[in-house]
Amino acid sequence: MANARAILSLLQGCNSMRKLHKIHAHILINGYQHNPSISEKLLNFCAVSVSGSLAYAQLVFHRIHNPQTPAWNSMIRGFSQSPSPLQLQAIVFYNHMLSASHARPDTYTFSFLLKACEEAKEEGKCREVHGFIIRFGYDQDVVLCTNLIRSYAGNGLIETAHKVFEEMPARDLVSWNSMISCYCQTGLHEEALKMYDQMRISNVGFDGFTLVSLLSSCAHVGALHMGVQMHRFAGERRLVENIFVGNALIDMYAKCGSLASALSIFNSMPKRDVFTWNSMIVGYGVHGRGDEAITFFGSMLMAGVRPNSITFLGLLCGCSHQGLVKEGVQYFHMMSSEFNLKPGIKHYGCMVDLFGRAGKLKEALEVIRSSPSQHDPVLWRTLLGSCKIHRNVEIGEMAMRNLVQLGSLGAGDCVLLSGIYAEAKDLQGVARMRKLIQSRGIKTTPGWSWIEVGDQVHRFVVDDKSHPDSREIYRKLEEVIHRASLVGYAMEESSLVAAPESNTQEYCWETSTSYHSEKLAIAYGLARTPEGTSLLIVKNLRVCRDCHNFTKFVSMAFDREIIVRDRVRFHHFKGGHCSCKEFW
């Protein structure tokens, strides 16, 4: 004979549906099915627990006579945690609650509803729930406002999210952290970093959550100095031991070109997870140091950490940039044969690059043909890039035809093929590309470069005149070009030769009068930093040949180390040489 108290404590310790069925039987035998605290507990377990069952919860719910707010909340919460289309049932249930019962929604109800909207990716629903919240007078609640920020941002409405943030009556640490992480996850890293200045003024302090998002943004824009500052803050609060913070620090240092610092954090970590190892492996990979990525991969396995698909992206990237064809092929196969990981489109892209870069264009083509995603423009674009490196007109044209067919031809692709024609002395081909690029309907990706000087990240675009110190920057650039030319730099004048090389490069035909964004960033960096300090430039596209050449001579003429992180990899320029050994 179990009494009500005993049943409640059984429910408390319940961790599987099997146990639950037994307890439910007890409840029925003892006639407790109408005891509200027992049926609510039962319902809550079925609806919310990971080992529960929403279907069972619905049965229990419908047997409850006159369910109160807690019961409705359990159901709404259960639906909000459900997989994809089912979440919106949460809103259906809510409407049902309003129309068919006397139970009133509370702040918890809305919190669960917003969670459902965040996952469901339906911005209309998000606005709808916001309306409910206002109607019930809960729009001043800090937690609900924070929920709203996440829901709006998760639905692509970052500006609305920011508006909620601005207008909420008071912001605590969690609201700040949420706003910053929303910017970070939306890719608006400059905005995220700007929030930090305002956060300091507002005196809410910071914690590990703050640092993780900010470090991720520092990593993306290459803000090394700010990252170092975060590292110091982390040290003061003993947050470096926090695995999330440690991982974010490793990634930040690796992405800001300081593999040595990344390694020293790695060595000091008391615990390491798959993120820790991946950050190192991807770090070595994008620096073109495939052999070290491979060594770390071996240690990772020894440490008993299971690799995931990102681990292999890092490995394959390293192999392709170091020309380790045999190893790359081996790891590609290992993915599925030993770790049961299905190669994704990115992995196939690496394989196309691995063969293409090594001059094995036929094999690269074979990879595309055999991949499950042969209609993906990225693969053909990668192949086109390889054709440029190895001057192959025939396969280049084939790649181009495929891009046209897939309707995803961009200006960069035309520039690339034009370069291939130029090197084959096919002037008509060049003219055709030039014409194509000027026709409408061709997509262009605007290029930009970031450089961190002092505590500010500066962004430049091609021929940028918007910087407040623009005049000075152009004057400096003239001087830089002059000094570079004294040690052998010659700007490539003809548009035929100077047409940038890669699909995703900044393109411009009138090269003799245009300055790519990284030249402006380099000039600014040279003007504003002490002699001998190294510069870090981060680009969203790939470096063109002229800029690559330019940077080599600048590193010699000014005796500076210049690190350029482009869309795919790192270039370390020093004394007139680049770490990529012209292999990019």
Partner DNA sequence: ATAGGGTTAG
Which residues contact DNA (rule: CB under 7 A)?
40, 44, 69-70, 73-74, 77, 106-108, 111-112, 115, 141-147, 150, 172-175, 177-178, 181, 184-185, 207-213, 216, 219, 239, 242-245, 247-248, 251, 255, 273-275, 278-279, 282, 308, 310-311, 313, 346
Residue 146 or residue 503: which is nearer to DNA going by CB?
Answer: 146
Shortest Å, Cβ 192 to DNA: 10
Residue 115 or residue 528: which is nearer to DNA going by CB?
Answer: 115
Shortest Å, Cβ 424 to DNA: 31
Structure tokens at 349: 């892209």
Shortest Å, Cβ 377 to DNA: 12
Q: Which DSSP state fits 512? A: G
3-state secondary structure of 457: strand
Which residues are CB-neighbours of 437 under 8 A, at least 6 positions away?
411, 414, 415, 418, 507, 509
Shortest Å, Cβ 176 to DNA: 7
Residue 171 or residue 560: which is nearer to DNA going by CB?
Answer: 171
Return d(Cα 390, Cα 278) in angstroms, integer: 32
Residue 47 or residue 481: which is nearer to DNA going by CB?
Answer: 47
Shortest Å, Cβ 273 to DNA: 7
Return d(Cα 461, Cα 484) in angstroms, integer: 22
Strand order through the sheet with 535-539? 456-461, 448-453, 535-539, 562-565, 570-574, 577-578
Residue 309 or residue 470: which is nearer to DNA going by CB?
Answer: 309
Give the helix ranges, DSSP H, for 32-156. Answer: 36-48, 54-63, 69-80, 89-100, 107-120, 123-135, 142-154
Residue 82 or residue 495: which is nearer to DNA going by CB?
Answer: 82
Shortest Å, Cβ 519 to DNA: 25
CA-CA distances (angstroms) from residue 220 to 129, 146, 227, 251, 259? 34, 25, 11, 10, 15
3-state secondary structure of 439: coil
What secondary structure, in 3-state letters, does 305-343 show?
CCCCHHHHHHHHHHHHHHCCHHHHHHHHHHHHHHHCCCC
Residue 248 or residue 365: which is nearer to DNA going by CB?
Answer: 248
Shortest Å, Cβ 28 to DNA: 22
Residue 181 or residue 555: which is nearer to DNA going by CB?
Answer: 181
Shortest Å, Cβ 12 to DNA: 10
